[in-house]
Structure 1
Amino acid sequence: MAHRISEIMTADPITVEPETAISEVARLMRDEDFGEVLVSEEDHLRGVVTDRDLVVRALADARDVDTTSAQDVCSGDVVTCAPDAEIDDAVRLMRENAVRRLPVVDGDELVGTVTMGDIALQRDPNSALADVSSAQPNR
Structure 2
Amino acid sequence: MPRTVSELMTPHPTVVEVTDTLHAVAQTMATQDVGSLVVAEGGAVVGIVTDRDLVVRGLAEGIGLDAPVGQLASEELVTVGPDDDLAEVVRLMREKAVRRVPVVEGDQAVGILSLGDLAQALDPDSALADISAAAPDE
Partner of 2:124: 125
Q: Which residue of structure 1 lines up, in the alignment, with residue 58 of structure 2?
A: 58
Q: Deviations over 1:3-25 (max 9, x none)?
A: 10001101110111111111111
Gaps of 5+ in 2: none
Cα RMSD over matched residues? 1.2
Higher mean C-alpha displacement, 97-106 vs 56-65: 56-65
Matches of 1:26 and 1:89, distance apart in 2? 32
In 2, Cα distance between the equivalents of 1:43 and 1:8? 23
Q: Which residue does the alignment assign to 1:21?
A: 21
- TM-score (norm: length of structure 2): 0.94
Q: Following TM superposition, by how much is the alpha carbon of 1:72 offset from its aligned partner in structure 2, in angstroms?
A: 1.0
Question: Corresponding residue for 1:33?
Answer: 33
Q: What 5-or-longer segments of structure 1 have no aligned partner?
A: none
Q: TM-score if structure 1 supplies the norm length? A: 0.93
- How far off is 1:42 after superposition? 4.1
Question: Which residue in 2 is equivalent to 1:135?
Answer: 134
Q: Name which of structure 1's ranges 91-100 and 23-32 shifts more when overlaid on structure 2.
A: 23-32
Q: Which runs of 4+ in 1 moved over 4 A?
A: none
Partners in 1 of 2:31 and 2:130 — Cα distance?
Answer: 21
Judge conservation of contact 2:38–2:109 (CA < 8 Å) in 1: no
Task: Report SS of the residue matched to 2:40.
Answer: strand
How far apart are 1:107 and its partner, in Å?
A: 2.5
Letter in 2 for 1:47: G
Looking at structure 2, the residues matched to 63 and 122 of structure 1 have their Cα atoms a distance apart, in angstroms, of 38
Match of 1:114 in 2: 113
Asked if the contact 2:17–2:43 (Cα under 8 Å) also holds between the matched residues in 1, the reply is no
Number of aligned residue pairs: give it. Answer: 138
Q: Spell out, residue by residue over 1:34-61, the C-alpha distance to the aligned partner (whole angstroms, 9 max, x if none).
A: 1111111343101111111111111101
Secondary structure at 1:2's aligned position in 2? Answer: coil
Give 1:92's aligned residue: 91
